[in-house]
Structure 1
């Protein structure tokens, strides 16, 4: 039981870390004006506001608030909603972590978000190993 609580606390802590790394990633994208450089971001921010700069801010501040709120209220052991939220967040970060380097290679130049993308990928993979790696380990004991 104590091991399970420790594992749940580690998952919660790494999820919070992932939310914070995403905030750093959003700052890098903001500095690089991602909404002007990446067609999907241009499209998405335009759905939120005609002023794509404002749309970018709304989306990314909203994502951060959602992540912190989810961590505080939902990412707890044995909550089905926690699994859904973590899965959603992992999907976003894996796409970011792989997509930004691919986009940079295709552009043959720096693209906004590529510096922090590896941090997202590494943190997301670590969270996945905490969630799923422990199951294989606990079945051996």
Structure 2
């Protein structure tokens, strides 16, 4: 199994303890593997006990994003007086590559449709392209 660094491997072991069914369930295992990526794990670690599944971090972020879009449908040039309060409610700050890995985790988990593999890969550096490949192999049962 490919790990970005030693911290990724340690995070993965921790996440597997939280989701023991990931030992036999490839959907869980691939999602746990992506959650354990250090750049993601450090952003969501504080909230990790709140998640019922290893994709909960991404579901929470997408829910906030959808609520934000619904609230701010108007003229993008205008700033609503509560704009900063909405931004402060963002659960955590994720980069585009983190969001793309999160969408990959959801796609491997449930077949999440709002995902484009090429967009995902284009957003990743070399190490995280390896992460994406490994997550796919885990989901296919090629890596245990």
Normalising by structure 2, report the TM-score.
Answer: 0.35
- Taking structure 1 as the reference length, what is the TM-score of the superposition? 0.36
User: Highest Rg: 1 or 2?
Assistant: 1
